[in-house]
Structure 1
Amino acid sequence: MDFRVFVLAIAAFVVGMVELIIGGILPFIAEDLNVSVGAAGQLITVFALTFAISGPVLLSLTTKIERKRLYLGALAVFFFANLLAYVSPNFEMLITVRVVTAMSAALITVLSLTIAPKIVKPEYRSRSIGIITMGVSSSLVLGVPIGVLVGDLFGWRMLFLLIALLTLIAGVIIFYFLEPIKPEHITSLRQQIASLKSKKIFSAHIVTLLILAGHYTLYGYFAPFLEATLGLEPFWVSVAFFVFGISAVTGGGVGGWLTDRIGPQKTVISFIILFAIVLFLLPLSTHSSMLFPLVLVIWGMLSWSIAPAQQSYLIQTAPETSDIQQSVNTSALQFGIAAGSAFGGLVVQQTSVEATAWAGSMLVILALVFALYSFRKPGKAAPWGLE
């Protein structure tokens, strides 16, 4: 595998870490800037919504810009935004900076996903996407514990300075080792928006949204789930999150490898079915100390293993607008996280925290319906698997 893919993955990890790292330092920010913890929590909401909306828009507006130059420009904006976050004197300044940070992070993430498959041999395309996915997933999983650790030792502002430094290092490496990449398909904004009218493509994006919504219906309330079903103390809850995190990070690589072997459509169908089953069985597995860790690991791997197959499917289905489709799919992921967290809250209020797993499973089954619909709609001939 080309080492430049790993550099792009590191950059994706750095920008992705900014999103949820706030969750671990909310009390520090609230106290320092004299706001409530609830108000500070809006820093996460604002980031997610900005990220989801701005990704496709910015990619559409920059279709004619050479990819390496655009990537370095986005990294530069991200670098200075984090420096501004480090010196923010008040909450209003910080939330404004979060908007700029989210916009640049969205562009960097989708550029990483679109550049990676272009700099490797065709047979490694899905695996390269899987490696980028590993970078994104690991940032989402590890962001909170890193935030807690660094924030407690050095203060919350030091986190943004550290991220700025890592961004600078990634930018220097990309400047020296990544060759210029011209946009392969220059399409107008109207054409790119029109491509979403395709039921085959639109339903594929819905699949991503529903899978992440189903996942976060439980994952957003996993700590109280563990306390209610297993009576775990905080230390063992942290251990469970760590085990899940390691599994999730490896899932992107596994999904990319399998997609290259059997094709994206077979991978998506197989993983969705298994994902729905695992979510349904998770509450039942808590009665066995041997079975629960196994189900937890499988759940963690599946949570991010479908992403490379989804991205590969979009590339082969709409190659002329593949960049914008990958951007929209990343936005669908963000909307899925927000929708799943909100839905999980309703489930907890109306029923019980244990029911979040079954509710999430139902959303994943619905994703299977949309996946089958998308795959059976007429479209371009697929180079892999079934069509």
Structure 2
Amino acid sequence: MTSSPPDARTKLVIAALTIAAFAIGLDTFVIIGALDVISRDLAISTGAAGWIISIYALCYAVFAPLNAWMFKATSGHNIQILSVSIFIIGNLICAIAPNLLTLAAGRVISAYGAAMFNPSATALAAELLPPARKGFALSLIFGGMTVSQVAGVPATSWIADAIGWRFSFGFVVIAGLLALIIFAPMMSGIAAKVPERGNGPISKGLSRSIYGILSVTLFIVVSEFIVYSYVTVFIIGSLLAGVPLLSAALFAYGFGAVTGNAACGVLTDRFGPYKVLISVVGAQLILLVGLVAFGQHGALTVLIAFFWGNVSYMYLVPIQHRLLGLAGDRSKLVLAMNSSTTFAGIAIGAFLGGILVETSGVTSLAAASILIGLIGIGLAIAFMRDGAPAEAATAAYPE
């Protein structure tokens, strides 16, 4: 990879990856905007409906490193087209699901497709741009997911309320088909990366620093999703200028996520991943508590949601940036492990949040978020500060 500016084809490929990431991101968060409607329609508790988020996230957590190992010798072009096709099928099943079991099965299938796509797309984007623009490349892929929250999560929330939650999954299917139509021809002819080495255990040869940073990911994500998974429970009641407060808050959150993501790549490249990470996670903890405390206060709720969105995705790029610097030639595997850890965090956060909502009420969400988030900050200080150990992944196993 040279430091020359990207050519037109490279720009088109990264744009195509971003579009596909939009569809995958929409699939990831569709349940959150329709949680209450699904629980009423299927006659289950809000906590049980929230566990559908956990099922998807746990399956993703298992499938991401498994797929990275199984398909390490397969071209990224084939992986990405197959993955988008699988997730479309999974969402079709969700759209016609007559009961909770079928809905869960559809989420398992769609999680498999998403877990196959994201690490491969992230690694490819980082390969296509010069090292000095690595943060920018990562922010573009995450930008697709954040844009899905601006348009997608509020839209699916509104669709679920207006015409039914099944149509929310139909919206995801349409987005996926559009992404596939645009994505497939653009990816043709892309040279495959040399397969990653090793036939041994998936995680053998990785440094302690990598595992430490993965633990940072886990605690930060759990801290966020304990609250985020249940926004429909505490952002209720009042309206803002005739618009449902939940929809307005979700839109503000998504718009904030896009602006924050756009700035994050540049900030990470300029100031380094450690400073950016500590700043945004500290801000996020304060905003999460504020959202729970002021979830029914109209314009104030929307403003807090915007600033929360602004920092909510900004921890992903610094973590991935640091991992890519440590991973050596095992970048795809390490990114898959981080992606897996992210979704394990979503699953744990949604599960713990469900228990807390059912047993202790929504105010307990804020306390749990603060406690777990502070652990994440402590781990970040240990493993991501500028002087932290930076051993690369080793080749301690046979070829």
TM bucket (normalised to shorter chain) is: 0.7 to 0.9
Query: How far apart are residue 272 of structure 1 and its match?
Result: 2.8
For residues 339 and 45 of structure 1, do their structure 2 counterparts lie closer, same or farther at Cα, with a shift above 3 Å needed? closer
For 1:55, the equivalent position in structure 2 comes to: 64
For 1:37, the equivalent position in structure 2 comes to: 44
For 1:13, the equivalent position in structure 2 comes to: 22
- Mark the runs of 5 or more structure 2 residues left unpaired by the alignment: 1-5, 393-399
Within the candidate set 136, 140, 146, 2:145 is matched to 136
For 1:249, the equivalent position in structure 2 comes to: 258
Structure 1: which amino acid aligns with 2:43? S
Check the 8 A contact 1:279/1:357 in 2, yes or no: yes
For 2:203, the equivalent position in structure 1 comes to: 193
| Larger mean Cα displacement after TM superposition, 185-194 or 120-129 | 185-194
For 2:83, the equivalent position in structure 1 comes to: 74
Query: How far apart are residue 276 of structure 1 and its match?
Result: 3.8
Query: How far apart are residue 54 of structure 1 and its match?
Result: 0.5
Query: How far apart are residue 212 of structure 1 and its match?
Result: 1.5
For 1:4, the equivalent position in structure 2 comes to: 13
Q: Does 1:314 align with 2:323?
A: yes
Check the 8 A contact 1:18/1:143 in 2, yes or no: no
In structure 1, distance between residues paired with 2:354 and 2:163: 33
TM-score normalized by the length of structure 1? 0.82
Query: Greater helix percent: which structure?
Result: 1
In structure 2, distance between residues paired with 1:286 and 1:74: 37
Structure 2: which amino acid aligns with 1:194? K
* Paired residues, number: 375
SS of alignment partner, residue 379 of structure 1: coil
In structure 2, distance between residues paired with 1:284 and 1:41: 21
Query: How far apart are residue 10 of structure 1 and its match?
Result: 1.8
- Mark the runs of 5 or more structure 1 residues left unpaired by the alignment: 382-387
For 1:173, the equivalent position in structure 2 comes to: 182
In structure 2, distance between residues paired with 1:40 and 1:216: 15
Structure 2: which amino acid aligns with 1:379? A
Give runs of aligned pairs for residues 92-241 of structure 1, distance below 5 A: 92-139=101-148, 143-151=152-160, 155-178=164-187, 179-188=189-198, 190=200, 192-196=202-206, 198-226=207-235, 232-233=238-239, 235-241=244-250
For residues 98 and 218 of structure 1, do their structure 2 counterparts lie closer, same or farther at Cα, with a shift above 3 Å needed? closer
In structure 2, distance between residues paired with 1:274 and 1:336: 19
Query: How far apart are residue 169 of structure 1 and its match?
Result: 2.9
Structure 2: which amino acid aligns with 1:19? T
For 1:379, the equivalent position in structure 2 comes to: 390
For residues 165 and 348 of structure 1, do their structure 2 counterparts lie closer, same or farther at Cα, with a shift above 3 Å needed? closer
Q: What is the Cα-based RMSD across aligned positions, in Å?
A: 3.5
In structure 1, distance between residues paired with 2:225 and 2:93: 31
| Larger mean Cα displacement after TM superposition, 337-346 or 280-289 | 280-289
For residues 353 and 182 of structure 1, do their structure 2 counterparts lie closer, same or farther at Cα, with a shift above 3 Å needed? same
* 1:255-278 per-position Cα deviation (integer Å, ceiling 9, x unaligned): 212111122223223323333444
Query: How far apart are residue 125 of structure 1 and its match?
Result: 1.8
Check the 8 A contact 1:209/1:332 in 2, yes or no: yes
Structure 2: which amino acid aligns with 1:257? V
For residues 327 and 282 of structure 1, do their structure 2 counterparts lie closer, same or farther at Cα, with a shift above 3 Å needed? same
Q: Does 1:334 align with 2:315?
A: no
TM-score normalized by the length of structure 2? 0.80
In structure 1, distance between residues paired with 2:304 and 2:100: 41
SS of alignment partner, residue 168 of structure 1: helix
In structure 2, distance between residues paired with 1:150 and 1:174: 26
For residues 141 and 344 of structure 1, do their structure 2 counterparts lie closer, same or farther at Cα, with a shift above 3 Å needed? farther
Identical pairs, percent: 27
In structure 2, distance between residues paired with 1:186 and 1:256: 26
Check the 8 A contact 1:30/1:36 in 2, yes or no: yes
